[in-house]
Amino acid sequence: MDLEMLEQVDRLDGWLGEGGVVVLSGAGLSTDSGIPDYRGPSGSARRNTPMTYQTFTGDPLARRRYWARSHLGWRTIGHARPNDGHRAVAHWQERGLLHGVVTQNVDGLHQAAGARDVVELHGNLARITCLDCGARSGRDQLEHRLTAANPGFAAVASAVNADGDVELDDAELNGFSTVDCLACGGMLKPDVVYFGETVPADRVSRAFALVAAARTLLVLGSSLTVMSGRRFVVRAVKQGTRVAIVNRGVTRGEPYADLMIDAPLGVVLPNLARETDTYRLLPR
């Protein structure tokens, strides 16, 4: 890191040391775990259009296509492991420096690293929900059922996207069978918020409450392109809360930031974790 960046990291270190920090994380935090982001340097949004709720529920062929691709993608998402960035966030929380964690990610890696009470704005790919009866189940159960229903499915994904979908030629979908809810025979869907859906109000309220009580809002690995995440930055600025952003590349949050660090999170966050190792605050 150059001198200017070291000074920025040192400034952020001081803010962390004061405690009361709320982390808002995006897909850029998970790239070092092998999960591509949406709009950053490895952005999958440049290559594909994400699934919408309307398409998933209204088009049986699109739904079958999604489950085939997601079945392949889960081999990457389900086996991903937390990286140094996730561990740094869990470390700060354990030391009482964090007031809360809000994530736009659906990979569950914050919790796998040891973080607690994470507000998952967009849900979690490890959970499956029935749109008819509301029953929930684990992704591993669904994967066993899909594997049993498609013993000859041998397609190979060319690229994995941040939402667990993959790039796959339609010719590879021939013969793929979906499965329905074991409880009622209804339509199954990953317990995630698709484009065209709204984030559940209780999650939004919890996130706003965390931001309202924060000294610093720390954005990690998010371009803040969509209002789903950017609204918390806007709220923080309106209430006079400091905003710090660590992100690789362009972010729409830069005009709001009191501190902006454009650098790989895998470099900055481990350094910050070491710097804050001596800090310990009482739980708020």
- At residue 47 the predicted structure's pLDDT band, cuts being 50, 70 and 90, is very low
- Whether the CB-CB separation of 279 and 95 falls below 8 Å is answered with yes
The pLDDT tens digits of the residues spanning 230-251 come to 999 999 999 999 999 999 998 9
Helical H runs in the chain? 3-17, 53-58, 60-77, 84-94, 109-112, 139-149, 201-212, 227-238, 265-275
Catalytic position from the list 71, 91, 122, 144: 122
181 is in an annotated binding site: yes
Of residues 40 and 141, more confidently modeled: 141
- Enter the pTM of the model: 0.90
220-250 burial, b for 16+ CB within 10 Å, e for fewer? bbbbbbeebbbbbbeebbeeebbbbbbbbee
Residue 117 is classified by DSSP as S
Pairing between β-strand 21-25 and β-strand 216-220 as defined by DSSP bridges: parallel
State residue 271's pLDDT score: 85
Q: Kindly list the structural domains of the chain, giving each domain's residue range(s) and its CATH number in brackets, ordered by start.
A: 3-35+80-122+193-278 (3.40.50.1220)
Instruction: State both tokens at 122.
Output: 């967009």
Q: Mean pLDDT: which of 40-54, 69-83, 153-167 is highest?
A: 69-83
Active site residue 122: yes
What is the SS3 assignment for 98?
Answer: strand
The pLDDT tens digits of the residues spanning 191-235 come to 999 988 999 999 999 999 999 999 999 999 999 998 989 999 999
The pLDDT tens digits of the residues spanning 63-94 come to 998 999 899 889 888 999 999 999 999 999 99
- Cβ of 18: how many Cβ atoms within 10 Å? 13
184 is in an annotated binding site: yes
